[in-house]
Amino acid sequence: MSALRSMETVEWGIPRIPLGDVIEDVINWVKSTFRWFFNFVADVIEAAVNGLTDLLQWPPVLVTIVILAAIAWLVRDWKLALGTVVGLVFIVSVDQWDNAMATLSLVLVAALVALVIGIPLGVLSARSETVSRVVRPVLDLMQTMPAFVWLIPTVMLFGLGVPAGTVATIVFALPPGVRLTELGIRQVDSEVVEAGQAFGGTPRQILGGIQMPLAMPTIMAGVNQVIMLALSMAVIAGMVGGGGLGGAVITAIQRFNVGLGFEAGLSVVVLAILLDRVTAAAGAGGLGRLKGRRRARPSQGDDEPTDVPATAGP
């Protein structure tokens, strides 16, 4: 009570809770105590993002466009491949190719980490009510907190640059992967699961052979949402040195350069459309079509006539 009396009052005698000071002290303590860990994580993230950026920028531009268009064709059809070519050629024409590849690298690394964490966590949440009850409010906090707020602790822990932007992107993009994985597994028909149990299936076999395949469309919708949120946050991450198209947008704002802002902004739109269409096509059956094509190749010889042994008459 004496501590409450010594606190400042806001209004009507209500004491002011020094929440901000407490959070700042905690973050400073974590930073000083685990500095070695955050330096290691920062080095790994920076190496991954920069390495992927170098890989995407290493081939000639036309080669990269052809490869990405081929991926679009494989997961869907020639129309998506043509749209991919047109969109990427537009990015090249406004001189934003290097920035676009840097942003794409950050998005892919952040989305991969978010999915590696999110999908197993979603599976655990679907199989355990206790885990679900603990995880749900944390996800609510992560989804409702303004995106800019996540930049503050990441900058304090990782400093300005690509690692801070990537970690903020991971945190911002993680919740849909967890939620939609849990939703997909919970929506699997219980009778199908009971049939697997009746045939002696272990929990691992039922999860891998029944629940995950049937939940895959919903999980792929989560993958799509994770990538979209990662792209939106990657642009905001340009404020803390994330580079790429986000850095170009921030530079345009600082210099009141409308032309550069629209060039970078439209390039973000093109990337968003392409990533959305490709991941949506993969979730709608594109991955299944790829597997079907692989299985069909060795079976092409099955159409050839085979010798049928004659049977002797009575």
Report H helices in 128-201. 129-144, 147-158, 162-186, 190-198
- CA–centroid distance for 170 within its chain: 7
Distance CA 77, CA 285 (A): 12
What are the domain boundaries of the chain?
24-286
Which tens digits make up the pLDDT trace of 113-125?
999 999 999 999 9
- Which pLDDT band, with edges at 50, 70 and 90, does 1 fall under? very low
Task: Name the residue among 258, 259, 175, 270 with its Cα closest to residue 231.
Answer: 270
Task: Average the pLDDT over 160-189 and give the result.
Answer: 90
Which tens digits make up the pLDDT trace of 79-138?
888 989 999 999 999 989 999 999 999 999 999 999 999 999 999 998 888 999 999 999
- Which pLDDT band, with edges at 50, 70 and 90, does 312 fall under? very low
Report H helices in 34-96. 35-57, 61-75, 78-93
Share of the chain above pLDDT 90, in %: 29
More confident residue, 25 or 288: 25
Instruction: Indicate the average pLDDT of the chain.
Output: 83
Statement: residue 55 has pLDDT above 50 = yes
Statement: residue 175 has pLDDT above 60 = yes
3-state DSSP assignment of residue 307: coil
Which of the four CATH numbers 3.40.190.10, 1.10.3720.10, 3.40.50.1580, 3.40.50.12780 does domain 24-286 have? 1.10.3720.10
Task: Average the pLDDT over 296-300 and give the result.
Answer: 50
Q: State residue 194's pLDDT score.
A: 82
Statement: residue 291 has pLDDT above 80 = no
Which tens digits make up the pLDDT trace of 23-34?
888 888 888 888
Beta bridge partners of 11: 14
- Which pLDDT band, with edges at 50, 70 and 90, does 286 fall under? low
Which tens digits make up the pLDDT trace of 194-237?
888 888 878 888 888 888 888 888 898 889 899 989 988 888 88
- Which pLDDT band, with edges at 50, 70 and 90, does 311 fall under? very low
Give the HSE-up count for residue 10: Cα atoms under 13 Å, Cβ half-sphere.
5
Q: Is the pTM of this model over 0.75?
A: yes
- CA–centroid distance for 156 within its chain: 23
- Which pLDDT band, with edges at 50, 70 and 90, does 292 fall under? low
